[in-house]
Amino acid sequence: MSKKPAQKRFRLIFPAHLTDQPILYQLVRNFELILNIRQARVLPDQSGQVSVELQGSEDEIGRAVDFFLEQGIEVAEQDEELGWDPDACVDCGACLPLCAPGALYRLDASGRVTLDRSRCTLCGRCIEVCAYGAVWMES
Ligand code: SF4
Ligand code: SF4
């Protein structure tokens, strides 16, 4: 029976001289991994941050981390998840303008606020403004 693939999230910090290098392209070409870029903030001539999710075997993910480190990229695993209690949410909308990737959004029909975890980059901004304890960070 084949093992279930692992799924891990990482924050990659690229030094300025690497932000224009095709490092994620090399990852896709040379590793048997599925790459999901969750958020990227890279400006020319400045360091950049990219949040990625890697899916594949534990060994292959480990090799990919070694590859990043060899290139001079800082790697931090993100093992937290955003806690979400829709019953505590009063749909006030205070979090919506702060959620850049649109992970928290208003459903058109009902106007209720909901969460799409696949878009969440764990920035934590919604937690700072939510006075109702509807969102929190859990590990
Ligand atoms: S700030 Fe909190 S209560 Fe208000 S919409 Fe966002 S999650 Fe819901
Ligand atoms: S932590 Fe909150 S504000 Fe940040 S991306 Fe996730 S849902 Fe949006």
Question: In a mutational test of the pocket of ligand 2, which residue from 51, 95, 121, 129 has the highest number of ligand atoms less than 8 Å from its CB?
Answer: 121
pLDDT score, position 70: 95
Ligand nearest to the Cα of 115, by number? 2
Q: Is 94 in the pocket of ligand 1 (CB under 6 A)?
A: yes
Which atom of ligand 1 lies at the shortest distance from residue 88's CA?
A: 3
Name the band, by pLDDT with cuts 50, 70 and 90, for residue 2: low
pLDDT score, position 106: 96
> Residue whose CA is closest, atom 3 of ligand 1?
89
CA atoms of 28 and 11, how far apart (whole Å): 17
Structural domains in the chain, CATH included, are: 6-78 (3.30.70.260), 81-138 (3.30.70.20)
Residue-wise pLDDT tens digits, 87-118: 999 999 999 999 988 999 999 889 999 998 87
Name the band, by pLDDT with cuts 50, 70 and 90, for residue 139: confident
Please, are residues 36 and 55 in contact by the beta-carbon 8 Å criterion? yes
Point out which residues pair with 6 in neighbouring strands. Answer: 56
Q: Is 92 in the pocket of ligand 1 (CB under 6 A)?
A: yes
CA atoms of 106 and 14, how far apart (whole Å): 34
Residue-wise pLDDT tens digits, 25-75: 999 999 999 999 887 877 666 788 888 999 999 999 999 999 999 999 999
**Residue 117 Cα to ligand 2 middle (Å):** 9
